[in-house]
Structure 1
Amino acid sequence: MKTALPNSTEAVHAGVLRQRPSHTLAPAIAQTATYTFANTADLERYFAGGDADPERQEYGRYGNPTVREVEQRIAALDRAEDALLFASGMAAVTTTAFALLKAGDHVILFRDVYRRTRQFVINVLSRLGVEHTLIDPGAFDQLEAAIRPRTRFALSESPTNPYLHCIDLSRFAEICKKARVKTVVDATFATPCNSDPIGRGIDLVVHSASKYLSGHNDVLGGAVSGSSALISLIRDLRSVLGGIMDPHAAALIGRGMKTLALRIERQNATGLAVARALEAHPAVERVFYPGLPSHPDHKVAAEQMRGFGGVVSFTVRGGREAASRVVDGTRVAAIAPSFGGVETLIEQPCIMSFHELSDEQLAAIGISPALIRLSVGIEETEDVVRDVLGALDALGGA
């Protein structure tokens, strides 16, 4: 059964102070690196834990009221006890991993998680004595077999990039809880509007706030949500590593989140319309979109998601050159990395994300040179569909 997901009212009001200083409707940006104390007694009371304001800080690396308000809204949308913001999505992932792991521990990754996350685990954590196991997307038999006494957490995305695999979140949580292994899900593609990992038993949810949460391709940020105990552990390490978000960035993300549900509604609709149109086009070899019955994870996605998101991946007939012609032939879509903003973006992953790999190396990691990833914005659905189909029509007999 689908769980209740956030709506526009919550996207606007969740976590917002009922009465801001000076009675402003919009939040002020607390642009400060440090905080003052009235006298020595005030300072000692603060360090003794006797301050009346539980959110009070002493230094900007430990917290900021502008950042904190947005953290509380993200926690509310994720149905979590607490949340933290970071300077980037990777800062959220790396700090979380460092907080949960030590030398000799073991971590499990579904092999289609974000490339930089894989690189961090394989190239960085391994040098620090942390072992890892890569398993196939949604392969729960491999997950059960991979768990060891020193396994501390398992990490997956849902949906994944670029093939939009969706895992059964409840099953993932059930297997790991039985073995006392923490679960981490990168829900950037889904957003709190389309998926509820914590409601299905997942321990920690990670977002690249640069994407749908902010929604305007103008700010970097990351977030992690979960229980108060786990978030407190990660917060302590964030204070040491220093990956806290700037208050201006937090303000931009907070403003963008107010329209999150509205944007996602349009992007869900456009994504599905584009996917259906692509599947019917003779120049398209295959479409990857969990809202289509042809997607291998459609049943799982339909059961646990409210919408299927705004990213559509597809391969075209004619290989790398044909894919490049389609990318170059669009007029509404801009050629750029990232996704989740108000503008439609298009890219060829073999060039944008894996430019240094040969075709043989691409094949080894399952990336087709003919693959295109389209992230729909909030333009009129008909305009986006027409734009992509027009670029495909121009291929002719390619």
Structure 2
Amino acid sequence: MPKKLHPQTQAIRGQMEKTGFREHSAPLFLTSSFTFDSAESMAASFRGEGDGIIYSRYNNPSVDELVAKVCALEGLPAGFATGSGMAAVFASIAALVQQGDHIIATRALFGSTHQILTSILPKWGVRFTYVDPENPETWSAALRPETVMFLTETPSNPGLKLVDLKAAGKFSKDNDLLFVVDNCFATSIIQRPADYGADLVTHSATKWMDGQGRVLGGLLVGTEEVMEKVTFFCRHTGPAMSPFNAWVISKSLETLHVRLAAHCASALKLAEWLTDLPMVKAVHYPYLPSHPQYELARRQMTAGGGIVTFELAGGIEAANALLNRVEICTRSSNLGDTRTILTHPATTTHSKLTPEERASVGISDGLVRMSVGLEHVDDLKTDLLLGLQP
């Protein structure tokens, strides 16, 4: 097979070698362990020699296929699949820091990532400093002699703030920092952080990668040096993805390119439409010219993504009315589904943040996050109007 393939081809054709049954679609390996031809080959596998598979907590053919596909999509050589997206985020930090280390993190992060930084890592003597994702001057000001990592998420959840990946990559390289990027919202179809120097990229595969709200999963892909540490950590702490979930997500990757194109097209149409509604105070979408980082989005993203957030003039009461009245859109904390989902971050995904912390990352009481599905746009407009009318 040619080495240079387009991403959509890699996602479809990057299958494991066929078994003796010559199957067209990759089989599912639902087994916890594997056997060996001899005592010598078993011992060699435990020494890290040869290609024997030992145990599904370490690796599994179904999981390996998924990891190989995501590595190819991200342009990175090694990876590990975890049981959830947050397991991947936690491993991306815990595997690479030690007591006394300091992390620089962009302030606009998912709520659970915030909890790891503020409530879990300090117990182990790991400190952090939040910086403005849009202002590199704050990055330099946060540097300490013990700083080892620059952690970011772009676009951010839910405010859709962007980080200049080129600037972040240079900052990390110049200061000898590990550059870690949560690429969940964009996926490797829309942007590839490794092209800007990222050492490690994480995904919640639960979202766009699965794309149909079926299974949980997380992915970490990175450089050989970084992934050696991450793989050691994950193999011995046990957050491995199940073979079944890996098989489901791997099959879903085959349609990710066409699904995401449709999600993005509908999201842009809805963002433009929402902008003209009097009850909507503001609309946030990277490919809207009104987005303050529109030019940056056009440089480092091939599309605007499938998430639109908008602020309602009526605050939390208006947000609750919208979520309670819609008949097609789903009320859920998930995203990246074929079905359009509405979430009120201030009372759900980011409710553990203080009002001041939410305000600092642009989460107002009237902010609604919409994960745009694959329904007809006109049906979604009609449904949204049910909840937006006074």
Match of 1:323 in 2: 319
Q: 1:118 offset after TM fit, Å? A: 1.4
| 2:21 alignment partner, SS class | helix
- Deviations 1:43-88, CA, capped at 9 Å, x for gaps: 233344543xx2x222221111110010000101111112211001
Which whole-Å CA distance do the structure 1 matches of 2:94 and 2:287 have between them? Answer: 35
Which whole-Å CA distance do the structure 2 matches of 1:354 and 1:48 have between them? Answer: 45
Match of 1:235 in 2: 231
**Worse-matched range after superposition: 115-124 or 345-354:** 345-354
Which whole-Å CA distance do the structure 1 matches of 2:156 and 2:169 have between them? Answer: 17
Which whole-Å CA distance do the structure 2 matches of 1:134 and 1:96 have between them? Answer: 17
Q: Measured at CA, do residues 102 and 218 of structure 1 come closer, stay the same or move farther in structure 2, by a change above 3 Å?
A: same
| Residue 120 of structure 2 is aligned to residue 124 of structure 1 | yes
Match of 1:11 in 2: 11
Match of 1:61 in 2: 57
**Within-5 A mapping of 1:17-56:** 17-51=16-50, 54=51, 56=52
- Deviations 1:230-280, CA, capped at 9 Å, x for gaps: 112111111111001000110111111111001100001011000000001
What one-letter code is carried by the residue in structure 2 that aligns with 1:182? L
- Deviations 1:164-190, CA, capped at 9 Å, x for gaps: 011110110001100100111101000
Match of 2:86 in 1: 90
2:212 to 216, 231, 246: 216
1:140 to 136, 140, 148: 136
| Residue 257 of structure 2 is aligned to residue 258 of structure 1 | no
**Within-5 A mapping of 1:152-171:** 152-171=148-167
Q: 1:226 offset after TM fit, Å? A: 1.1
Match of 2:340 in 1: 344
Which whole-Å CA distance do the structure 2 matches of 1:360 and 1:181 have between them? Answer: 29
| 1:346 alignment partner, SS class | strand
Match of 2:376 in 1: 380
Q: In 1, are the aligned partners of 2:210 and 2:249 still within 8 Å (CA)?
A: yes
Which whole-Å CA distance do the structure 1 matches of 2:16 and 2:366 have between them? Answer: 49
Q: Give the fraction of aligned pairs with identical amino acids, expressed as a percent.
A: 33
Number of aligned positions between the proteins: 387
Which whole-Å CA distance do the structure 1 matches of 2:186 and 2:375 have between them? Answer: 20
Which whole-Å CA distance do the structure 2 matches of 1:260 and 1:313 have between them? Answer: 22
Which whole-Å CA distance do the structure 2 matches of 1:196 and 1:368 have between them? Answer: 30
- Deviations 1:189-245, CA, capped at 9 Å, x for gaps: 001111111112111111000000111111111111111221121111111110010
What one-letter code is carried by the residue in structure 1 that aligns with 2:11? A
Q: 1:336 offset after TM fit, Å? A: 0.5
Structure 1 residue ranges, 4+ long, deviating more than 6 angstroms after superposition? none
Root mean square deviation, CA, Å: 1.9
Q: Measured at CA, do residues 266 and 156 of structure 1 come closer, stay the same or move farther in structure 2, by a change above 3 Å?
A: same
Q: In 1, are the aligned partners of 2:338 and 2:375 still within 8 Å (CA)?
A: yes
2:221 to 222, 225, 246: 225
Q: Measured at CA, do residues 5 and 167 of structure 1 come closer, stay the same or move farther in structure 2, by a change above 3 Å?
A: farther
2:190 to 188, 194, 201: 194
Q: In 1, are the aligned partners of 2:110 and 2:350 still within 8 Å (CA)?
A: no
Q: 1:389 offset after TM fit, Å? A: 3.3
Unaligned runs of 5+ in 2: none
What one-letter code is carried by the residue in structure 1 that aligns with 2:191? S
Q: 1:388 offset after TM fit, Å? A: 1.9
| 1:291 alignment partner, SS class | coil
**Worse-matched range after superposition: 27-36 or 252-261:** 27-36
